[in-house]
């Protein structure tokens, strides 16, 4: 067990966010007098973001925020830089454009048992354009819900289970791949219906709105297929739901020439697992059945 005055380390990659750091600054300021250590990692793309981050961190009254800057190239590789700064029992990976519920997360950690490896909470989305919100309350029969919405940011991890695990260099889908490599559905998980996190949608800087990131969906499908081939058979269907969701996203976002590659993956999945099973899994994604 780690010995520290902090209960949680939060790792936050930042890139090209100059002028859009209000939410990050707000929750980091609120965390100043809480047992939370923050590691802000700037994946350098512009001087303006660097200057804004440095100025803000220097203004903080306490020294519970570590700052790293460099050219890392992807969110996953950026997160990997934080390993030597994590000295708490629990770690979370949050995004720079969202807003966590700090007290709810800390309360969940207080309620955890020694054998717990992952804590997963409910979340809400907030539309950046119109401000509309939508709650996603996590049922205690949690696996299908998480397979459909496997947000890394709604999870708190026991640090010791991540020692031999690293994020990939994917620009999109690296969170889902990380969760699959961790074999989340076969871990000792405690779930909470309390909302851990507000996830912002329709934000210009998001990966789903960048053509260069979308191209990595093809590579992610290859890696994800390899990762779930090693998971326990008992929960294979949940990883298959995650995989099919990625296929659906790729068909939705990619150009026609790349859609053919994705449709080929769907064909091979149906061939390997049966058309009926594939249809049933797609129904689970659509209707939760």
Residue 90: the pLDDT is 98
Q: Round to whole Å and give the CA distance between 15 and 289.
A: 38
Residue 203: the pLDDT is 66
- More confident site: 251 or 108: 108
pLDDT-wise least confident of 28-37, 113-122, 182-191, 195-204 = 195-204
Q: Round to whole Å and give the CA distance between 228 and 238.
A: 10
pLDDT tens, residue by residue, 194-246? 999 999 987 655 444 456 677 788 888 888 888 877 666 778 889 999 999 99
Provide DSSP, 134-182. Answer: EEEPPPSS-HHHHHHS--GGGEEEEGGGGTT----S-SSSHHHHHHHHH
pLDDT-wise least confident of 7-16, 159-168, 221-230, 233-242 = 221-230
pLDDT-wise least confident of 8-12, 42-46, 157-161, 246-250 = 246-250
For residue 70, pLDDT over 50 is answered with yes
pLDDT-wise least confident of 105-109, 126-130, 132-136, 144-148 = 126-130
For residue 53, pLDDT over 80 is answered with yes
Band of pLDDT at residue 278, cut at 50, 70 and 90: very high
At CB < 8 A and 24+ separation, what contacts does 28-35 make?
Answer: 28/56, 28/60, 28/65, 29/60, 30/102, 31/64, 31/102, 32/60, 32/61, 32/62, 32/64, 33/62, 34/102, 34/103, 34/106, 35/5, 35/6, 35/7, 35/8, 35/106
pLDDT tens, residue by residue, 264-277? 999 999 998 899 99
pLDDT tens, residue by residue, 92-127? 999 999 999 999 999 999 999 999 999 999 999 999
- More confident site: 248 or 92: 92
Q: pTM here? A: 0.92
Residue ranges of domains in the chain, CATH in brackets: 8-214 (3.90.550.10), 215-289 (no CATH)
The mean predicted confidence, pLDDT, of the chain is 91
For residue 289, pLDDT over 60 is answered with no
């Amino acid at each position: 067990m780690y010995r520290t005055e902090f209960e949680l380390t939060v790792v936050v990659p930042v890139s090209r966010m100059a002028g859009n750091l209000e939410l990050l600054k707000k929750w980091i300021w609120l965390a100043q007098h809480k047992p939370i250590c923050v590691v802000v990692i700037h994946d350098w793309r512009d001087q303006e973001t660097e200057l804004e981050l440095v100025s803000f961190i220097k203004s903080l009254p306490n020294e519970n925020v570590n700052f790293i800057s460099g050219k890392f190239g992807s969110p996953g590789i950026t997160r990997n830089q934080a390993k030597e700064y994590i000295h708490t029992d629990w770690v979370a990976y949050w995004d720079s454009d969202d807003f966590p519920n700090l007290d709810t997360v800390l309360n969940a950690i207080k309620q955890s048992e020694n054998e717990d490896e992952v804590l997963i909470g409910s979340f809400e989305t907030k539309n950046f354009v119109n401000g509309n919100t939508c709650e996603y309350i996590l049922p205690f029969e949690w696996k299908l819900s998480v397979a459909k919405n496997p947000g890394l940011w709604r999870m708190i991890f026991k640090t010791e289970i991540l020692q031999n695990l690293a994020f990939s260099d994917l620009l999109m889908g690296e969170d889902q791949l990380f969760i699959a490599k961790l074999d989340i559905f076969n871990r000792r998980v405690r779930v909470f219906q309390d909302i851990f996190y507000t996830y912002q949608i329709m934000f210009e800087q998001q990966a789903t709105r960048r053509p260069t990131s979308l191209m990595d969906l093809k590579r992610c499908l290859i890696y994800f297929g390899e990762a779930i081939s090693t998971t326990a058979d008992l929960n294979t269907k949940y990883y298959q739901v995650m995989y099919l969701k990625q296929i659906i996203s790729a068909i939705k976002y990619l150009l026609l020439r790349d859609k053919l590659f994705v449709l080929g993956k769907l064909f091979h999945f149906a061939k390997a697992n049966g058309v009926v099973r594939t249809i049933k899994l797609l129904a689970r994604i659509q209707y939760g059945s």
